[in-house]
Structure 1
Amino acid sequence: MCCYGLIDELLREAPGNKPANETPHKIPKDDGTEIGSQWNDDHVTDIYNDCDLYLAAKNGNLSQFSRILARVASAEKASFVEILRRLSPALNTFLHVAAKHGNENTVTYVAAKSPSLTLHKNSNGDTALHVAARAGDESVVKALVEGSGAEVNNLLRATNQKGNTALHEALISGQEIIARFLIQQDSEVSYYKNKIGECAIYLAAKVGFANCVSLILTLSTDQQRLEELFKKKSPIEAAIMEKHRDVLESILNSSPQFIQIRDEEGRTPLHYAASLGNHAMVRHLLDKYAPSATQRDKNGSFPIHLAAIKGHVDIISLLLQDFPDPGELLNWDGCNILHLAAQNGRSNIVSHILNNPDLNELINMKDKRGNVPLHLATMNWHSEIVYALTWDKRVDIKAVNDEGMTALDAAESSMLPNPTYLQRLTWAALKAAGTPLSLPRKSVQESSNMEICKERVNNLLRVSTIVATMTFAASFTMPGGYTSSGTDRGVATMLREKAFHIFVFCVAIAMHSSCTVAVSLIWAQLGDLTLVLNALTLAEPLIGIALSMMSMAFTAGVFLEVSKLRWLGTAVLVIGATFLAMLLVLLLPLCAPITSSNPILRYLSYYPFRLLIFATTRNRKDLFG
């Protein structure tokens, strides 16, 4: 006995190896009775009693396997069948071992000695046919089917713990030839679903086996059962999703009626293709059956609505080519494609519609609740779309819905006490566009807002103090030092240098800006909310100026000290200019008047606002897809 026998013995005796409430696994005898128990039979895990026999089954040497089998049977005074029924710890028989390693002769020999072993399942519920189908060995699969005798249908229909038949395993593993063979052996298996609802025709469509799909459709005799398979995990949906046009054509050529089949949500194949954005498939389906473009699902959505929700501009353009009046394409809520794009944050669709004069009627159309697209974009805090809509002069920013609310009313009624940045941006875009309020402004929660403002005041006060301290120190430690003698005693040695003039100006501006910020924020400590807001409005751009000047002063000062070495001075200037540009890009949105409705200020704040939108929406897309 090899070392595996001792290991298996220890494994069997180890506490916790016997699952609770596990039904003993019986191996059927060839006469119909059962022998052996999964957990308490002494011969269950003794397949390794003679390692040479196991290795012969694994390596495929039939003469060696049969010779060793005879030797073991003689030594243990046991029959061949008893030895062949021995199991590994994973409940594999010698038949499983031979099938896994593609040893056709050994498989044929073992199946002939004990046909019932073809139905034995291991700990995963796999028969040897599952193992062979997954491994992709056609000859072994055929040997097992032929060797199972009268049990062939039971073997083909046997399922493992995942609910997969051998046909499922062949398709999942991409074994087309084996799959076709198994379909031909028993077409009934094509109707079987695994535990996640996948049938054979769905898997075949998913992996692109057009011939398997055609074969299943040809051999299927129960049309009603076949149609049921198309209503849940539809093969058409799989073909469209994986872009297998040949599979789609096979389905429609074999069963043209399936182009109109609907799933449980009432969606047709064109709904799938439009939702997935597959232009070629949409074109193909329209050529086959154009009326499907105006068929609704159970939610009242046309295929073009799903394309709008998913943001597929090319699909919308294609579906609109042959439709004379886009304003007629409304779902049960009265929403057109612009409503849905605005509601779902599809800025590319919104831009496409705004740039298409033929779609003007959609811009201010109201849904059944009286909401225009601007309302829906606002309610869902899609600041980029709100910004795009409010810049378009055709958009009626004064439009009210059935509750009497403008878009600004809708924003203020649902903003949090401490608004998120997207909420702030959306509100700012509406304010800058001059969107009016039609309802009385809701009462301001001054205590909550005051706490938020106080925190901002304190943070800015700390920054301004640091800047003032640093610039004060810099003003008395001039680069290059001071003249120590003569009539110019105490004067800066680099007084005539242009870089020195820049240094002095920047230090002076930074110092006075930071001092002004500090004083204005001291006024903000008096507790009046309006005064606090006004102080913040003044302080934020000034602190930006102070930080920028401090950066420039540093660059000018270092340049003065290293200017004698030309390449080093140039490097200092390049680095300083690069990071100053980055600093301005970051500060500009904070200091820009993004809520001002003044035309000049609004144009000045255009790019800062776009930058803020880009930063926030890009982050959301990275996180949530």
Structure 2
Amino acid sequence: MGRLDMMIELESEPQWRDDRPKKEEKKRSTTRGSPSRIDDDHNESQSSDEHVTYIQKDYDLYLAAKNDSLHDFLTVLDRASAAEPASYADILRRLSPAGNTYLHVAAKHGNKDIVTYIAAMVASLVSSKNSDGDTPLHLAAKAGQEAVVKALLVHSPAENLLRAKNERRNTALHEALINGHESVAQYLVKEDPTVSCYKNDEGKSVLYLAARYGYADCVRLILQLSPNPEHIVEQLKEKSPIHAAIKGKNRDVLEAMLNMNANLVQLRDAEGRNPLHYAASLGYLEEVRYLLDKCSPSATQRDNSGSFPIHLASIYGSVDIISLLLQDCPCPEELLDRKGLNILHLAARNGRYNIVRYILSNPALEKLINMKDRNGNTPLHLATKEWHPRIVSALTWDKRVDVKIVNDDGMTALDVAEYYMKYNSQFRQRLTWAALKAAGTPRSLRQTTAGGHNSKKSSNMENYKDRVNTLLLVSTLVATVTFAAGFTVPGGYNTSDTDLGIAAMLREKGFHIFVFGDTIAMFSSIVVAVVLIWAQLGDLTLALNALTLAVPLLGIALTMMAMAFTAGVFLAVSKLRWLSTAVLVMGITFFMILVVLLLPLCTPITSTNRILRYLSFYSFYLLILATRS
């Protein structure tokens, strides 16, 4: 190791302290680096050079413990012992600030000869723990040093050392598995199979970790040597190794466990879920197929909440798994949870559009479409309540969906939307409401009689006023700009007597486009301004009608203004071909972007007219994408 490397490593290596029992006539001297025990008869004014000498000797010993040379280690140990003076055992008991002994260091770096020597010299150090609660065996297992693990077990009672836990309640076997050292783990299992039942502070057993990380041979060994098979079964009800194998997609581990004990496939966890529940919730098709082959009745077992595996597949959006589970289920309408929810209810409530589309396209599942849950809610009610506009749109476009159905509260899906919009009206909720309106969803007689819609109108008047004021401001700005452009035409005016005041580019086609665009924009914005003034009269119905007319007209005004601008600039630079072409390309590109952005805002997405509804279909979905709904 070069001097520079040693200096850099010295800054990061632990400082050492003497952990021996102190006699009354001696005291401890603390310095930067490796504290050493200094006798009272040493002068307190001892030079800094002498302190550096002691520090360097301890650090040299630390480096020797890291390097795989017993000869070098003994040479440095002998030199340090003679310099203080101190016995070998006293020096070997010293600890770093992290509580590590030289045995910890040697074990971590796989120096078997040094480990054997220190363990024989001071046997008590084999079971000593650092500040993290790690014994040398923990560090050796964590680093995958199998030879060192075997050497340590020779010098200490195997049971005590193997069952020792650190601050995270991990045994050395836990650490070997967590850090990916399967061969070390197998050796430790053979030494003490009882440790396989131990759990750490996360409740994870050794069997769970072996299954989670895909160590099939280790799993087999644990199951074969387990002294208490009943305890292994108990573990499956908490942190289940079978669930861990499924989560890690470790088929060989899953097969190993089920081949050892086929009854494990029916065991439940704390939530009452069997392995098939778990595989279905994760969307693992191959694991589901394998578990069905092992135990098909598990597909019709409920968990503690009353859910079947197919319900979890619906909640998490696994179409392939639902299709597989339905193959052996002739009556899917019988698969209800304790709230009376079928798979379409759950998909609609949780926003699983792919599941909804699959069910709507499958004639065998038609009976699910208008089914009610325990509260009388259909899938349309639930999708509305959770504000899933895409799913509401898909349901309302299907003619088999009855939008007139009321739940046990006497509310249609539109009533549900308007009821909850009173408290929080966001754009996603407005899209859901718009989809229901476009489908002609009625209000219930009870809600209409109660005047709920009228109260909603009055409460939302302030919101509509803000929109009216914003549009009025924009229309005024467009009218001002287009008015000014009409008298500052491209190319200016002729000054000759015969054509005085006539536009110089009157006969150019680009000028004609400019004039048409500017004129349409000017008058459209003026009409919008007048319409919005009517909307200020305080009547909500009048405001809604004004907005319905004003928004499309304002969209036309903005589009025409952009067209007029492009035509005017094109005319001004038409003599330079590349520049005029660039202006034309940019103008057309941004004109198309403008149309795409304005189309959803100007399309009547709430219209029940069949033609208008088809025309606004893509605008509606563009709004859904824009709002990530």
Normalising to structure 2: TM-score of the pair?
0.90
Hey, what's the Cα distance between the residues in 1 that align with 2:273 and 2:399? 37
After TM superposition, the structure 1 stretch with the greater mean CA deviation from structure 2, 225-234 or 386-395, is 225-234
State the partner residue of 1:575.
586
State the partner residue of 1:463.
474
CA contact (8 A) 2:16 2:35 kept: no
State the partner residue of 1:294.
300
- Cα 1:122–1:263, aligned 2, differ >3 Å: closer, same or farther? same
Aligned amino acid, residue 70 of structure 2: L
Hey, what's the Cα distance between the residues in 1 that align with 2:546 and 2:369? 39
Hey, what's the Cα distance between the residues in 2 that align with 1:161 and 1:557? 77
Give 5+ residue unaligned stretches, structure 2: 1-5, 37-54
Aligned amino acid, residue 421 of structure 1: F
State the partner residue of 2:324.
318
Hey, what's the Cα distance between the residues in 2 that align with 1:542 and 1:417? 31
Aligned amino acid, residue 509 of structure 2: K
Deviation at 1:610, TM superposition (A): 1.0
Matches within 5 A, 1:577-616: 577-616=588-627
Hey, what's the Cα distance between the residues in 1 that align with 2:423 and 2:541? 17
Deviation at 1:41, TM superposition (A): 6.9
After TM superposition, the structure 1 stretch with the greater mean CA deviation from structure 2, 131-140 or 526-535, is 526-535
Deviation at 1:345, TM superposition (A): 0.5
Percent identical across equivalent pairs? 63
Choose the corresponding residue for 1:484, options 482, 495, 500. 495
Which secondary structure state, in structure 2, belongs to the residue aligned with residue 419 of structure 1? coil
Hey, what's the Cα distance between the residues in 1 that align with 2:22 and 2:164? 20
Deviation at 1:417, TM superposition (A): 4.1
After TM superposition, the structure 1 stretch with the greater mean CA deviation from structure 2, 206-215 or 218-227, is 218-227
State the partner residue of 1:101.
109
1:363 aligns with 2:369: yes
Which secondary structure state, in structure 2, belongs to the residue aligned with residue 444 of structure 1? helix
CA contact (8 A) 2:223 2:229 kept: no
Which secondary structure state, in structure 1, belongs to the residue aligned with residue 447 of structure 2? coil
CA contact (8 A) 1:202 1:235 kept: yes
Hey, what's the Cα distance between the residues in 2 that align with 1:7 and 1:254? 53
Matches within 5 A, 1:112-127: 112-127=120-135
Matches within 5 A, 1:376-415: 376-415=382-421
Aligned amino acid, residue 407 of structure 2: N
Q: Deviations over 1:350-395 (max 9, x none)?
A: 0000011111111111112111111111111111111100000000
Choose the corresponding residue for 2:81, options 69, 73, 76. 73
Normalising to structure 1: TM-score of the pair?
0.90
State the partner residue of 1:18.
none
Runs of 4+, deviation exceeding 3 Å: 10-13, 40-49, 445-448
Hey, what's the Cα distance between the residues in 1 that align with 2:447 and 2:291? 52
1:202 aligns with 2:213: no
State the partner residue of 1:539.
550
CA contact (8 A) 1:418 1:449 kept: no
Choose the corresponding residue for 2:92, options 73, 81, 84. 84
State the partner residue of 1:440.
447
- Cα 1:447–1:360, aligned 2, differ >3 Å: closer, same or farther? closer
Count of matched residue pairs: 593
Deviation at 1:252, TM superposition (A): 0.5
After TM superposition, the structure 1 stretch with the greater mean CA deviation from structure 2, 184-193 or 529-538, is 529-538
CA contact (8 A) 2:16 2:95 kept: no
Hey, what's the Cα distance between the residues in 2 that align with 1:509 and 1:417? 41
Matches within 5 A, 1:16-35: none
Hey, what's the Cα distance between the residues in 1 that align with 2:327 and 2:221? 37
CA contact (8 A) 1:45 1:91 kept: no
CA contact (8 A) 2:64 2:72 kept: yes
Deviation at 1:445, TM superposition (A): 4.9
After TM superposition, the structure 1 stretch with the greater mean CA deviation from structure 2, 383-392 or 190-199, is 190-199
Choose the corresponding residue for 2:160, options 154, 157, 162. 154
Deviation at 1:447, TM superposition (A): 5.7
Matches within 5 A, 1:417-432: 417-432=423-438
CA contact (8 A) 2:422 2:456 kept: no
State the partner residue of 1:515.
526
Q: What's the Cα RMSD here?
A: 2.5
Deviation at 1:267, TM superposition (A): 0.4
CA contact (8 A) 1:555 1:572 kept: yes
Aligned amino acid, residue 592 of structure 1: T
CA contact (8 A) 1:506 1:553 kept: yes
Aligned amino acid, residue 402 of structure 2: D
Deviation at 1:570, TM superposition (A): 2.4
Choose the corresponding residue for 2:145, options 133, 137, 142. 137
Deviation at 1:185, TM superposition (A): 1.1
After TM superposition, the structure 1 stretch with the greater mean CA deviation from structure 2, 560-569 or 172-181, is 560-569
Hey, what's the Cα distance between the residues in 2 that align with 1:42 and 1:349? 73
Hey, what's the Cα distance between the residues in 2 that align with 1:186 and 1:256? 26
CA contact (8 A) 2:468 2:535 kept: yes
- Cα 1:597–1:35, aligned 2, differ >3 Å: closer, same or farther? farther
CA contact (8 A) 1:429 1:595 kept: yes
Deviation at 1:446, TM superposition (A): 5.5
- Cα 1:141–1:464, aligned 2, differ >3 Å: closer, same or farther? same
Deviation at 1:533, TM superposition (A): 2.1
After TM superposition, the structure 1 stretch with the greater mean CA deviation from structure 2, 72-81 or 53-62, is 72-81
Deviation at 1:45, TM superposition (A): 6.2
Deviation at 1:186, TM superposition (A): 1.0
State the partner residue of 1:23.
none
Aligned amino acid, residue 488 of structure 2: T
Aligned amino acid, residue 562 of structure 1: V
